[in-house]
Amino acid sequence: MRGIGKVSLIGAGPGDPDLLTVKALKRIQEAEVVVYDRLVSQEIMDLVPPKTALYPVGKKPKSHPIPQEEINQLLVDLAKEGKRVVRLKGGDPFIFGRGSEEAAELVTAGVDYEVVPGITAAQGCASSLNLPLTHRGLATGLRYVTGHCQKDIPLDLDWASLADPNTTLVIYMGLAAIKEISAKLVEHGMPTDMPAVAISKGTTSEEQKVFGTLTTISELAKEAKLPTPTLFMIGDVVGLKGTLELTSYSGSDAKWGERPHLEVING
Ligand X SMILES: C[S@@+](CC[C@H](N)C(=O)[O-])C[C@H]1O[C@@H](n2cnc3c(N)ncnc32)[C@H](O)[C@@H]1O
Which residues in this chain contact ligand X in the complex, by CB under 6 A? Answer: 14-15, 39, 89-92, 95-97, 120-121, 125, 172-173, 199-203, 228-231
Query: How is the beta sheet containing 167-172 ordered, strand by strand?
Result: 141-146, 167-172, 230-234, 195-200, 208-213
What's the min distance (Å) between Cβ of 155 and ligand X? 14
Min dist CB 146 to ligand X, Å, is 8
Rounded least distance, CB 73 to ligand X, Å: 20
Nearest-Å Rg of the Cα atoms of the chain is: 20
Q: How far is the CB of 95 from ligand X (least distance, A)?
A: 4
**Phi, psi at 260, each rounded to 5°:** -70, 150
3-state secondary structure (DSSP) of residue 214 = coil
CB atoms within 10 A of CB 160: 11
CA 238/CA 250 separation, integer angstroms: 18
236 is known as an active-site residue: no
Smallest separation (angstroms) from ligand X to the CB of 226: 9
> Shortest approach of ligand X to residue 236 CB, angstroms?
21
- Is 158 tagged catalytic? no
- 194 catalytic residue (yes or no): no
Q: Distance between CA 207 and CA 200 in Å, rounded?
A: 6
Which H or E run includes 134? none
- Catalytic residue, chosen from 16, 37, 92, 236, is 37
Distance, CA of 208 to CA of 169 (rounded, Å): 19
SS3 32: coil
Nearest residue to 178 via CA among 143, 138, 226, 142 = 226
Residue 39: half-sphere exposure toward Cβ, Cα within 13 Å: 29
Instruction: From the candidates 6, 45, 59, 193, give the one annotated as an active-site residue.
Output: 59
CA dihedral 58, 63, 69, 75 (to 10 degrees): -10
Residue 18: CB partners within 8 Å, gap ≥ 6?
A: none
Q: Of the residues 89, 92, 173, 190, which is catalytic?
A: 173
Would you say 216 or 230 has its CB closer to ligand X? 230
Query: Which sequence positions are flagged as catalytic?
Result: 37, 59, 173
